[in-house]
Homo-oligomer: A and B are copies of this chain.
Amino acid sequence: MDAATQAATPAVSFDTSPERYRHWKLAFDGPIATLSMDVQEDAGLSPDYKLKLNSYDLGVDIELADAIQRLRFEHPEVHAVVVTSLKERIFCAGANIFMLRGSSHAWKVNFCKFTNETRLAIEDASAHSGIRFLAALNGICAGGGYELALACDEIFLVDDGNSAVSLPETPLLGVLPGTGGLTRVVDKRKVRRDLADVFGTVAEGVKGKRAVEWRLVDAVYPTSQFKDRVAARAKELAAKSDRPSGGPGITLTPLAPAVTDTSVTYSAVSIEIDRDKRVATLTVAAPEPGQPDTVDAAQALGARFWPLRAFRELDEALLRLRTHEPLIGTVVVKTRGDQEAMLAMDEWLLANQDHWLVREIIHFMKRTLKRMDLTSRSFFALIEPESCFAGTLFELALASDRSYMLDDPDRDNTIALSAMNGGPLKMSNGLTRMQTRFLAEPEQVDALLDRGQPFDPQEAMAAGLVSFAPDDIDWDDEVRLAIESRVALSPDALTGMEANLRFAGPETMETKIFGRLTAWQNWIFIRPNAVGAKGALTAYGSHSRPEFDFNRV
């Protein structure tokens, strides 16, 4: 077993709020918010490293993710966000190298996954919520700092003769820019590959006019003009937004689950952990009947409104499993509740999707389901009587690696689709889970969505909506054996297999980041040339130079 895995896992909570931020400041000026990085050196998750020069660890990124989320839900009046730094002549030095060096492989991989999701959340807010992001690089911007800038719509760099953008990972550390940098440089900013090659290998980076010519930034301005130019452009960006001109937003209250050694219990979501079997059971409860009719009533419920509450809980539950339970390789997915209420909720959401808050809720549900797609655990959905795999909650079965539906002639057991399965909850590959599932028979998707009534086990099997439908005699054994076989397999092979099977169909910048880039980064993160006794990541900041095995693979 990887001894470092547990030892190097600091206690970490994904629950934070602006008044508790240590590393970021949020300021508001009408439609413009300014999100400023001001990392406290001594406030890293571990005392083993200092977060110098606005370098970051997971704790810093959890605050960033929280800030992006709150801008969406709590500040509908914000139409543009300026991302900048409060440190003199430093925007951000990237992920903290001493943190990376001291972390287990699994921690590095999970850290990069979360930071990638956060950067994609910025792009999601821009694409779907009318919030534009302007990176105002008021000082040096290296590695993960530049990758954060790349996630913004536009990048302005101060032209002070010193400030540069750079991706020094390869030349200094022998690793890749692991948070989308390489992909965004050539695919989003469309930097020519030969220039990207040069940029990716010169530790000092590129500044001034050349940074613009190479498309690495959108503009450079002298220090004297920088603030005004940023402010003026932020105003222009804000003017294009379709968000409301004023509030109020809703407050994202703390989730506060009840946590024991073997369970985490939220209001609509729970996790039960069986450490001996290395299996968790994740259960999501459908909305109660009698939900609010109007958007005003839903808004009055705020964070207690079921779709937001249940998916915030699900999101945190997934992050907890990833971060705190690395030995739990298989997750049994269950639901419970009232199918009619779930389908009514879906109808309500779609009927009101033009309202800013409902739009935010739907996109958040989408992002949470993507988080599930990207979670490197095996998911098996169990569809039983009293479960509620309907509409939005049926996405949990579609997102699972397999689904088992009990076919007991004496007990009702159905699944149901809704229009929420037909578009709003797209995967990273740009398709719905239904489209991805039925790549071979695309015409099936609309036929099934149009059916308008539930599917019993036989119908669900015939339609290809579930993997297996054992009868009541076989159910217990078949499910038990499936889980026992799964947990016995190599966890690495399963991670790789699932990463390849879950994303059939088209690739997007997002799937490229999580597929190609992440997989290569994971490989490099365990190579002796990076993390061995004489590897570059190990040698960095010491007085010794790295020594490489120069064999090319």
Q: Residues of A with Cβ closer than 8 Å to B?
A: 1-2, 5, 105-106, 109-110, 169-171, 173-176, 182-183, 185-187, 189-198, 200-201, 215, 278, 326-329, 376-377, 400-403, 436-440, 464, 467, 485-487, 489-507, 511-512, 515-517, 519-524, 526-527, 529-530, 536, 546, 548-553
Add 13 more A-B contacts to A197-B402, A493-B536, A516-B516 (CB < 8 A). Answer: A1-B550, A187-B439, A194-B400, A194-B402, A201-B486, A326-B552, A328-B552, A377-B552, A491-B548, A496-B523, A503-B516, A523-B523, A526-B526
Is the CB–CB distance between A490 and B529 below 8 Å?
A: yes
Is the CB–CB distance between A492 and B523 below 8 Å?
A: yes
Number of copies of this chain in the oligomer? 2
What are 27 A-B residue pairs whose CB atoms fall within 8 Å in the complex?
Answer: A1-B550, A106-B551, A170-B494, A174-B489, A175-B490, A176-B493, A182-B500, A187-B439, A190-B504, A192-B438, A193-B401, A194-B400, A197-B501, A198-B467, A200-B497, A201-B486, A326-B553, A327-B551, A487-B550, A490-B530, A491-B552, A492-B530, A500-B516, A500-B520, A507-B507, A516-B519, A526-B527
Residues of B within 8 A of A507 (CB): 506-507, 511-512, 516
Shortest Cβ distance from A223 into chain B, in angstroms? 29
Is the CB–CB distance between A187 and B489 below 8 Å?
A: no
Is the CB–CB distance between B190 and A548 below 8 Å?
A: no
Shortest Cβ distance from A325 into chain B, in angstroms? 9
Q: In the assembly, what is the distance between CA of A494 and CA of B169, in Å?
A: 11
Shortest Cβ distance from A195 into chain B, in angstroms? 7
Residues of B within 8 A of A169 (CB): 493
Residues of B within 8 A of A550 (CB): 1, 278, 327, 329, 487, 491
Is the CB–CB distance between B192 and A437 below 8 Å?
A: yes
Is the CB–CB distance between A192 and B440 below 8 Å?
A: yes
Shortest Cβ distance from A394 into chain B, in angstroms? 14
Residues of B within 8 A of A195 (CB): 467
